[in-house]
Amino acid sequence: MRRREFIRLFSSSIVTWPLTARAQATMPVIGFLNSSSPEAFQSFVAAFRHGLSESGYVQGQNLAIEYRWAGGDYEKLPRLAADLVGRRVSAIFAGGPPAVVAAKAATTTIPIVFTSGGNPVELGFVSSLNQPGGNVTGVSFLVNELSAKRLGLLRELVPAATSVGFLANPTRPSFQSEVENSQQGAQALGVKLIVLNASTEAGIDTAFAEFSRQQITALLIGTDPFFQTRHDQIVALANRLRIATMYNLREFVVAGGLISYAPSLAEVYRLAGTYVARILKGAKPADLPVLQPTKFDLVINLKTAKALGLTVSNQMQLLADEVIE
C-alpha cells in the first residue's frame, strides 16, 4: 500500500509541477529600485502599481515585483541594481537620479524606466526627451526648473527675508544644476542664497544649527530621496527653529511642514507604471518619449503658519490645491 501510495503521489506531482512551473515562468518579474525607504514611499508604490494595473498587470496575479530599497544610502545602489540584473528581471524601475545612475551602469540591455527631478538629458540618461535612444526612458518632472517659483512663493510668506537658506545633498547627481537654478531664482528676487550641504542625519542637524546661527528665517529644501527618508527630522528642526520652509513634497506638509510646491509625485509614479506595462507588452524604451507631468500641487499648512507667526493671504489660500488647517 505504501509503495502504491508513493507511486500515486509521485505521478500526480509530475502532472501538477510542470503546470506550476509554467505559470511561474510566464509571469514577468520587474525590479523596483529606489534610493529611499518603503515607509516614505508607500503611497507612491501604490500609484506605481495602479499604473501597471491600468494595463492589466496586477502584482501577485500576473506580475511579480522585486523591491530593492537603499534607505538613503546611495552606496548600496550599485549592489542592489546588480542583484536585479542577476535575477534577469524583464524591466527595472529606477526611482530618482541616484537609482537611475546605478541601474544604467548595471545593464545596457534590460529596459529601465525612471523618475527624475533632474534633466535626464543633462544627466546623460537619454539622448533627448523625444527620442531617448538606448534602453532607458521614463518620467521627468524637472523640479530644478521650479526653483524660482518655489522661492517666489516662499518670499510671499516671508517678505522681509533678505537671505534664503538652501539645503542640498551633494551626493545627488543633479546637485550642481539644482543649486545653480536656485541661485538664479534667488538673484532674480534680489535675495542672497545660503547653500548648506547634508547627506547624513547628523549633517542635517549641523546644517540647521548653522542656518539658525546665521539667523535664516526662510529655507528651501532641495529635492532628494534621502531628505524624504528624514522628513520628520527636517520638519521638526524647521519648526523648532522657527524657519519658514518650502518643501518639494506634499508629505512634508502633511507631517507638519509649512508649504510645498511640486509636481504630483503620485502621478509621476503612476505614469512610470504605465510605461513599464507598455514595455512588458513589447514596446522599446528608445521609442517611448520621456513624459513630463502637467499637474502641480501647492499645499499649505495653516496651523504651522500660525505657529510661526506668518500670515497666509486669502489669494494664496485660493491658489492652493490643498490647505491643511
d(CA 118, CA 99): 13
The pLDDT of residue 21 is 40
Confidence bin at 171 (pLDDT 50/70/90): confident
Q: Are both 2-141+265-287 and 144-263+296-324 of the same fold?
A: yes
Average pLDDT over all residues of the chain: 89
- CATH architecture of the region 2-141+265-287: 3-Layer(aba) Sandwich (3.40)
Q: Provide mean pLDDT across the span 179-208.
A: 93
CB contact at 8 A, 154 and 220: yes
- Grid coordinates representing 5? 501510495
Locate 254 and state its grid cell: 502633511
Nearest residue to 90 (alpha-carbon basis) of 28, 136, 39:
28
- Res. 189: pLDDT tops 50: yes
Counting residues of the chain whose pLDDT is more than 70, the rounded percentage is: 91
Report d(CA 178, CA 160) in Å as an integer: 24
Q: Which fold has domain 144-263+296-324?
A: Rossmann fold (3.40.50)
Percent of the chain residues past pLDDT 90, beyond the cut: 71
Q: Is the pLDDT of residue 314 over 60?
A: yes
Let me know if 310 is exposed, middle or buried by CB neighbors in 10 A (0-12, 13-18, 19+).
Answer: middle
Q: What residues does each domain of the chain span?
A: 2-141+265-287, 144-263+296-324
Residue 247 has pLDDT above 50, yes or no: yes
Which of residues 144 and 288 earns the better pLDDT score? 288
Give the pLDDT score at 312.
95
Question: How far, in Å, CA of 137 to CA of 120, rounded?
Answer: 9
CA 58 to CA 269: how far, in whole Å? 15
pLDDT over threshold 90, residue 294: no
- Confidence (pLDDT) at 25: 54
Question: Does the pLDDT value for residue 15 go beyond 50?
Answer: no
